[in-house]
Amino acid sequence: MSKLPDVRGRITYISSHAKQENLYAVYETADRHYWTELAKCNQQEFEKSGTEGKCIEAREFIIALPESFPNLYEPDKLLQIFTDRFKEKYGVECVSALHHNKRKTNYHIHLIFSERKLLPEPMEKTATRNMFYGENGRHVRTKKEILDENGNVRKGCKIVKKGEVYERDLFTAKNKLFKQEDFVDEVKHFYTDLINLLVKDDKEKLHVFDSSGLYLATKKIGKNNPKAEQIQTDNEMRMRWNCEVDRAIVSGVSETEIQQIKKKYITDRIKESVDIFGSQPERLGSIIMTAVTALALLISKVLDKARELSAKFFENEIVQPIAEPSEKKTAKIISQTDKLPKQETPKIPPKPVMSAEAAIYPKLLKIYKELNRQNGIIFDAERERNELELERDSLKGLAKLTKKGELQSRIDRKNEEINILKIGLSGIVKRYGYQNVQEFYRTYHKSHSVYAKYREQVAECEKTYGEDNQKQDKRSVLESLKNPPKKAADYQQQSAVKNKDRGAR
């Protein structure tokens, strides 16, 4: 978000075909006179406040859009949607323009908005007595304060006579929301959700970086940036931390422990450094490397146990398909059932339905195993590297001079291999559409929980109403036919005795 000290000049710049090579559309929610009055109001309020610096007349957002949008939506309608949504949410007037850069690789919107709202009716203040103002526009108590040596009103000073309007307000005060730290994040989420609703390809969906999360954000290096080299170095350090976070999550380190290390060794250390040394960006690299080392030590403490538990889990974890009875088997059961006397059977409830979250679990399990295999390779590579370092440090005498260089070279190559393998962890999940390892693991654990619950429901259903129970019921019916109940047998015996007596008569 940018602060605009000359809102009228900025509006002219973003909306001019002469100044913009690829200008597709301009949209305004208020006429240009509104912005002239707004600028005048802001300047007057700024002079009254006596604040040093530049007067902020309005603010601006630059919203990057997916490169598929030019082919999907008409520029005028697209710009109107983005501008009207902002006005509906915050209730302020806007001017926007839709651009492409010279190479047509950055499709974006410039959105200028007011921090004030227009009052329904102007508020006018009338002088109850003569009022005197100095050169700076401030009110003074007596006329003498604005007179020169000859008793004349000094240039720039003025007198407002009784009954005249000395102040006319067209706008409300500035909305304090626009100055709050979390306002920019709120707008990012707002427009990210809107863009994700409009994109057709899921691969183009955007994510808002969570600055309070486990990862560190990298900075974009602009063209001809004088600090490009320093930013590039910082980005490499940030990526190294992010790779170590991915490794920690795969190794079984809890998010709480990672967050504690980030706060203790990065966030707090940066604050201390700024308080003591001031702003020195070159110190960031050493701070991050200390945090990476601390996180690596924590990983080494839990990795052996995590690998053992993961191996047991993978051996026992088998995604069981739901077996359906074959047609022949079903026909046989039906034919046998037809021979039995019809009895009233209990109503069988419908089988549990697999939800979408449970259905994707087998796919997620494959990714989970792939991450752990990659982590195992990293573990083995680190073990080899540690053995080389021990061998190098134990060299003595002539061997220290002849072999040390060769061992150091092998250690350096092994470190490069380990770094590439760590980057590969995030590459695995990104290949399947996840932003990072943390996002994948949260999805995986949620899906695993839903899938396990579904399997329990299926097992319970099979236990109660499955094929084995049906066979048991049929055996019971057959046995009842072969061995009639006692009362029925007694009845048959009594009938036989009566028939015998009748024959004797």
Per-residue pLDDT, 475: 56
Q: Please write the tens of the pLDDT for every residue from 163-197.
A: 887 677 788 888 899 988 789 888 998 999 899 88
What's the rounded Cα separation, in Å, for the pair 94 and 86?
8
Per-residue pLDDT, 345: 53
Q: Please write the tens of the pLDDT for every residue from 494-503.
A: 555 445 554 5
Q: Note the residue count of the chain.
A: 505
Q: Taking Cα atoms as reference points, which of 79, 101, 109 lies closest to residue 22? A: 101
Q: Taking Cα atoms as reference points, which of 237, 259, 234, 263 lies closest to residue 248? A: 259
What's the rounded Cα separation, in Å, for the pair 219 and 346?
66
Per-residue pLDDT, 222: 65
Per-residue pLDDT, 336: 53
In this prediction, residues 114-132 reach a mean pLDDT of 83
Per-residue pLDDT, 225: 73
SS (H, E, C) 333-369: HHHHHHHCCCCCCCCCCCCCCCCHHHHCHHHHHHHHH
Q: Please write the tens of the pLDDT for every residue from 282-317.
A: 888 888 989 998 998 888 887 666 556 656 655 555
Q: Which of 1-10, 202-211, 265-274 bottoms out in mean pLDDT, i.e. has the lowest? A: 202-211
Query: The tokens of 488 are what?
Result: 């029925």
Q: For residues 244 and 296, is the Cβ–Cβ distance under 8 A? A: yes
Residue with tokens 């057959």: 478
Cα separations in angstroms, 117 against 9, 28, 30, 186, 327: 20, 15, 11, 20, 73
Mean confidence (pLDDT) of the chain: 80
Q: Please write the tens of the pLDDT for every residue from 50-99.
A: 778 889 999 999 998 988 898 889 999 999 999 999 999 999 999 999 99
Query: The tokens of 290 are what?
Result: 């200390």
State whether the Cα torsion 424-425-428-429 is positive or negative. negative
Per-residue pLDDT, 223: 65
Cα separations in angstroms, 28 against 25, 42, 89: 10, 20, 16
Per-residue pLDDT, 108: 92
